[in-house]
Structure 1
């Protein structure tokens, strides 16, 4: 008989975290989270099954796609914003003399 169903160990043990920055880790491809070690004092951590983490991440992407289709005339990347800020620092504040 084939075993089907839910395996607690598989679903509640996330993959090892890969450090991305000093404050962010990545456990699943393109799913970034604040390093849980930094969130122990004021924020109680909840355990999520792996499938739920992936479902939430997919839902966020779907929501952003919907918002862009319905409300955004232009979608600006984070890199474009950083480039604008970097350029503003070199030339002075935007709109300045």
Structure 2
């Protein structure tokens, strides 16, 4: 079990600019650049562990939504292939 250190968890890693609108702080976790949202959306400080918890559970949540609400699940790749044809 690791200890919780507020100073370590309240400062996200340095952001890398991926595109004009996307940043990456953790590997394969893309965010809208907060600088683009500050005028309309109040930014909150999330502890690093909470961000990683949300990311880890997003596939479970998506699967739950599919099971409960989707009659058919269409992959994004299938849509792109259809556009290309």
CA RMSD of aligned residues (A): 2.2
Partner of 1:66: 64
Structure 1: give runs of 5+ residues left out of the alignment.
Answer: 88-97
Aligned length: 84
Q: Deviating runs (4+, > 6 A) in structure 1?
A: none
- What TM-score, normalized by structure 2, do the two folds share? 0.76
Structure 2: give runs of 5+ residues left out of the alignment.
Answer: none
Relative CO higher for 1 or 2, CA cutoff 8 Å, sep ≥ 6?
A: 2
1:10-89 paired onto structure 2 within 5 Å: 10-69=8-67, 75-87=73-85
- What TM-score, normalized by structure 1, do the two folds share? 0.69
